[in-house]
Chain A
Amino acid sequence: MTTQHTGSEPGSAAGGTEEISGPALSGRARFWRRFRRQWPAQIALGYLIVIVAVAVCAPLLATYSPFDQNLNGVLARPSGEHWLGTDDLGRDVYSRLLYAARISLLAAAQAVAVSLVLGVLPGLLAGYAGKKTDAVIMRITDAVMSFPPLILAIAVVGVLGPSLTNAMFVIGIIFAPRFLRLVRGSVLSLRAETFIEASRSIGTPRWRIIQRHVLPNVLSPLVVQISLASALAMLAEASLSFLGLGVQPPEASWGAMIERGFRYTAAAPWMTVFPGLLIALTVLAFNVLGDGLRDSLGREVRKAS
């Protein structure tokens, strides 16, 4: 390379530039290398992929229409004809479960999306803008958090009418502070990092710093939180539907199916057991996945010394 060698320049012994060993790993490759060791999270991820696939392909997999009633065969126990039995209107539980998966998953996704919209941007603002903006946003957040969630849900549904969309909108509002606080906290600690000041010192405009330095570093904790919040949203949806505030018949979510089956627990336990099992497994899967992501997404800051 360059000729002038004082015998003391870095890498001069190697006669030019210095090399580092090992393959170059992108952030994604690093993530996968670590994620591969998290077998519970992998199982959880596999399970969730299957559930989503099932929900998407419900019409192909269903053996009956989810709405077809057969009043001659109500509360039939699981058999070759009705794999998971029938409900009080003679509808096929298996087919209903497949369709209900769509509603449960969509509802959770909707709630998380609402809370992301309401949480991330104000969180970034609260963390990065001045003290006054921060104070205003945080007081609003405190106000939202001081509402008893169920009362808030009942109030909103009472005003807007019972529907799943309304219910999940409320859940989204209730979850938003979690995201807001997470993002704000991450941004506050990032702001103290030297690399932000370093970027400022070269004259990088503020919006660009947020875009290029703050957001990518907030992303990892956010992904983990999304997974955990999905679990909670699913539970909340089930609770609201159980109270009749969520999805309206004849549509059903897993939570609504439990509500319906609840009255026949003794006569037809299959009506509650299977949706209950699915809710439990899916919530567990989201939580396990969240934990696994947390362990795999951790920032590699220092080279082991």
Chain B
Amino acid sequence: MTAMSVAPGTEAPVLEVTDLRVQFATDRGWATVVDGVSFSVGRAETVGVVGESGSGKTVTSLAVLGLLPSPPARVVGGSIRLGDTELLGLRRRELEEIRGDEVAMIFQEPMTSLNPAFPVGDQIAEVFRRHRRCSRSRARARAVEMLGKVGIPDAARRARAYPHEFSGGMRQRAMIALAMCCDPRVLLADEPTTALDGTIQAQILDLMRSMRDEFDTAIVFVTHDLGVVADICDRAVVMYAGQVVEKAPIDDLYYHPRHPYTEALLGALPQLDGGTEVLATIPGTAPTPGALPAGCRFHPRCAHARPECAHPTESAADGVALRWLSDSVASRCVRVDELRLRGAR
């Protein structure tokens, strides 16, 4: 599983997560919620981390920034490399230096990043000053510049407004301005548009695209929405029960999925242009970390499951190994070579 996450022949990744393992303390001991997750993001690239709730996608993104609450969480293995720097094992102070500067994060609810007690512009200026150690006026100018860049009209005046004076969409813009003010190499976005209305989501996705192109930022986009992934991502990593089950460039992922879970997710989406009589479902529910099935973790719900799916493969001690099928496509399905799976309609 290790040393396989960089597809050969690509530019050195900006962020590389390898074999990440995270556990949470539960009533019944430690439960592994992120189990050997590997992925990488290159410059100006957007990688989607897709999964349903409980798949471990958010825990993965929080682990990158060292933002997991400990206890109950602990990172038990793997590596997170930002360029040449290993982030796992850094001291808190060193991580704080990197956070907001080289790696920034935006969340579903902007109020978690914006302090209601201070004007928005001051908050951006403060982050910029902390990392760039410049003068107050220089930092203020930067804050106004960033608010302008994210499309907040009359930025100089709005910089003095408090977060509650902004609408939901404007807050998300302000949070993006805050995240991008130090020109980070990596932007972690955790469901940044999920709480927004459709028309505002479209605006924010456009904004993120233009920011990525302007700043050459690598974006990790955590979401459950396959429509959003199709819209903004270049590659995607599909997670199920704490593991990556498939990763591929998005065209491959949507038109030639190589894991039955991806197929099932795509098949379950209601279509905007109608035409489905009965919606397909995935039977059963996702397993909890304490009660994972043996072998392939998806097999109890899989339409293509065979008896052999319940047995671990030799190459992986505890389940099925993720296998590269080409330079850029990997799948964790035992039967991947014999299955022809159905993609987007």
A interface, CB within 8 angstroms of B: 6, 8-14, 18, 21, 33, 304-305
- Nearest-Cβ distance from residue A235 to partner chain B, whole angstroms: 34
Name the CB-closest residue of A to B280.
A8
B53 touches A304 (CB 8 A): no
- Nearest-Cβ distance from residue B260 to partner chain A, whole angstroms: 14
Interface SS, B side: loop
List chain A residues, Cβ under 8 A from B279.
8
B283 touches A304 (CB 8 A): no
Known: A21-B291, A304-B26, A304-B288. Is A10-B281 also a contact (CB below 8 A)?
yes
- Nearest-Cβ distance from residue B223 to partner chain A, whole angstroms: 16
Residue of A13, A14, A33 with highest tally of chain B CB at under 10 A: A13
Query: Once the chains are docked, how many angstroms separate the CA of A10 from the CA of B279?
Result: 12
Q: Which of A6, A8, A10, A305 contacts B54 (CB 8 A)?
A: A305
- Nearest-Cβ distance from residue A293 to partner chain B, whole angstroms: 18
Known: A13-B284, A14-B284, A304-B26. Is A8-B53 also a contact (CB below 8 A)?
no
A-B contact pairs, 12 of them (CB 8 A): A8-B279, A8-B280, A8-B281, A10-B281, A11-B284, A12-B283, A13-B283, A14-B283, A21-B291, A33-B27, A305-B53, A305-B54
**Contacts beyond the supplied A8-B279, A11-B283, A13-B301: 10 A-B pairs with Cβ under 8 Å:** A8-B278, A9-B281, A10-B281, A12-B283, A14-B283, A18-B284, A33-B27, A304-B24, A304-B26, A305-B54
- Nearest-Cβ distance from residue B67 to partner chain A, whole angstroms: 17
- Nearest-Cβ distance from residue B324 to partner chain A, whole angstroms: 30
Query: Once the chains are docked, how many angstroms separate the CA of A14 from the CA of B54?
Result: 22
Taking CB atoms and an 8 Å cut-off, the chain B residues in 190-213 that contact chain A are none
The proximity string for B residues 19-32 relative to A, scoring 1 for CB distances below 8 Å and 0 otherwise, is: 00000101100000
How many interface residues does chain B have, given as a range? 10 to 19
List chain B residues, Cβ under 8 A from A33.
27
List chain A residues, Cβ under 8 A from B281.
8-10
Query: Once the chains are docked, how many angstroms separate the CA of A10 from the CA of B283?
Result: 6
- Nearest-Cβ distance from residue A14 to partner chain B, whole angstroms: 7
Name the CB-closest residue of A to B288.
A304
List chain B residues, Cβ under 8 A from A21.
291
Name the CB-closest residue of B to A22.
B291
- Nearest-Cβ distance from residue A11 to partner chain B, whole angstroms: 7
Query: Once the chains are docked, how many angstroms separate the CA of A11 from the CA of B288?
Result: 17
Name the CB-closest residue of A to B55.
A305
- Nearest-Cβ distance from residue A22 to partner chain B, whole angstroms: 9
Name the CB-closest residue of A to B24.
A304
- Nearest-Cβ distance from residue A13 to partner chain B, whole angstroms: 4
Query: Once the chains are docked, how many angstroms separate the CA of A18 from the CA of B283?
Result: 10
Name the CB-closest residue of B to A305.
B54
Query: Once the chains are docked, how many angstroms separate the CA of A12 from the CA of B303?
Result: 13
Name the CB-closest residue of B to A33.
B27
List chain B residues, Cβ under 8 A from A14.
283-284
Residue of A8, A14, A18 with highest tally of chain B CB at under 10 A: A8
- Nearest-Cβ distance from residue A8 to partner chain B, whole angstroms: 5
List chain A residues, Cβ under 8 A from B54.
305
- Nearest-Cβ distance from residue A246 to partner chain B, whole angstroms: 46
List chain B residues, Cβ under 8 A from A8.
278-281
List chain A residues, Cβ under 8 A from B24.
304
The 3 A-B residue pairs whose C-beta atoms are closest, nearest first, are: A13-B283, A305-B54, A8-B281
- Nearest-Cβ distance from residue A31 to partner chain B, whole angstroms: 14
List chain A residues, Cβ under 8 A from B278.
6, 8
Taking CB atoms and an 8 Å cut-off, the chain B residues in 281-306 that contact chain A are 281, 283-284, 288, 291, 301
List chain B residues, Cβ under 8 A from A304.
24, 26, 288
Query: Once the chains are docked, how many angstroms separate the CA of A6 from the CA of B277?
Result: 11
Name the CB-closest residue of B to A13.
B283
- Nearest-Cβ distance from residue A298 to partner chain B, whole angstroms: 14
Query: Once the chains are docked, how many angstroms separate the CA of A143 from the CA of B291?
Result: 56
Name the CB-closest residue of A to B268.
A8
- Nearest-Cβ distance from residue B137 to partner chain A, whole angstroms: 45
- Nearest-Cβ distance from residue A172 to partner chain B, whole angstroms: 39
- Nearest-Cβ distance from residue B287 to partner chain A, whole angstroms: 10
Residue of A8, A14, A33, A305 with highest tally of chain B CB at under 10 A: A305
Query: Once the chains are docked, how many angstroms separate the CA of A21 from the CA of B280?
Result: 25
- Nearest-Cβ distance from residue B51 to partner chain A, whole angstroms: 11
List chain A residues, Cβ under 8 A from B283.
10-14
Query: Once the chains are docked, how many angstroms separate the CA of A14 from the CA of B281?
Result: 14
- Nearest-Cβ distance from residue B146 to partner chain A, whole angstroms: 34
Query: Once the chains are docked, how many angstroms separate the CA of A11 from the CA of B301?
Result: 11
List chain A residues, Cβ under 8 A from B53.
305
